[in-house]
Homo-oligomer: A and B are copies of this chain.
Amino acid sequence: MPENNRQPDCPLPLGNYDRIVLAHGGGGRLMHQLIDSILLNAYGDSLLADSPDSTAIEVEGTRLSVTTDSYVVRPLFFPGGDIGKLSVCGTVNDLAMSGAKPLYLTVGMILEEGLELEELREIAKSIGETAREDGVRIVAGDTKVVEKGHGHGIYINTAGIGIREHGQMIGPSKVEPGDAVILSGDIGRHGIAVMAAREKLPIEPPIISDCATLWKSVERLLNAGIEIHCMRDLTRGGLGAAVVEIANSSEVRVELVERNIAVSEAVRGACEILGFDPLFVANEGRFVLFVPEKDVLRAIDALSEISPDIKPVKIGSVTNESIGVTLQSLTGMERAVQMPSGEQLPRIC
């Protein structure tokens, strides 16, 4: 998740840390504090705080969206994808979530001395293939090499430029009581697929990452004339972090119903063994969609038959009772869903 959804005007203390810890990159509270108190203050540019996944700019009347993301996943290859595919999907999806049609990508690689050229070849192939799926062109690239022991095979940064051809304003500020929350498919697969590959967990058959580009889904929603209030892809921090962020930004209450949130048996089992809550496990091809209740059926219809992997379901609704997120559990109990601090989040990117 890019950092452009942070509020620059409310710097927060960085707790007791005077050095970077892993949790600063986990997608939780610590990361948000780091971005607010150090980066946004220094950049002094309000554009960063305006929109969630990508930033809207206008150049000579052309409405563009811009985003960037770095990819540091280990291992480099996992069931369902690799770091190359991921580096295209993640950035394309950030553009798509603002309703922008992805047009151009830049690709910066930091290679570690010792990386096998054959691996690089595979990764580059994935980048090219995934970009072509959505007709995205790679327009600029850069390659650096760092000494052995100062990288992890390959780190990739991609930046994306898209065009907003529609007239809709899409973002948390549009979310309002009466909206429904739609989830595009089952959750937790990417995070567990990567962790299983990294830790060599004996899960058979292997769990396949949901890694995929979401532009086609968004294009269908736009073409169907759905009134899209907000979309968010469920990467670092998973469904839980995404919905908490939107609820907080929108100053609404989101009530989720657990039984409508699809989690495969395999993911649920792995989460139980590993001690993770699937709600906070990362995905790379899933998103939530906030639409007015009246558009729910048409939205679900528009998203159907794109791929067997996409099974849109209404998982909750927006009220104005108080700010935050609640989850009605399988047993009917209601609990508050809160932003994890970062330490508890599984590190998969």
Report which A residues bind B (CB closer than 8 A): 1-4, 14, 17-26, 31, 34-35, 38-39, 41-45, 47-48, 54-55, 57, 59-62, 64, 66-72, 103-104, 106-118, 120-121, 124-125, 127-128, 131-132, 137-147, 149-152, 155, 157, 159, 161, 163, 349
Q: Which residues of B contact A108 (CB under 8 A)?
A: 68-70, 108, 157, 159
- The winner among A39, A128, A349 for most chain B CB atoms within 10 A is A39
The one of B20, B31, B41, B147 that contacts A22, using a Cβ cutoff of 8 Å? B147
Q: Give complex CA distance A14, B70 in Å.
A: 27
Q: Is the CB of A47 within 8 A of B115?
A: no
Q: Give complex CA distance A61, B60 in Å.
A: 9
State whether A121 and B38 are in contact (beta carbons under 8 Å apart), knowing that A141-B43, A145-B20 are contacts in the complex.
yes
Q: Is the CB of A66 within 8 A of B106?
A: yes
- Say how far A141's CB is from chain B's closest CB, in angstroms: 5
State whether A59 and B103 are in contact (beta carbons under 8 Å apart), knowing that A137-B45, A161-B66 are contacts in the complex.
yes
The one of B17, B71, B127, B151 that contacts A151, using a Cβ cutoff of 8 Å? B151
The one of B42, B54, B110, B140 that contacts A2, using a Cβ cutoff of 8 Å? B140
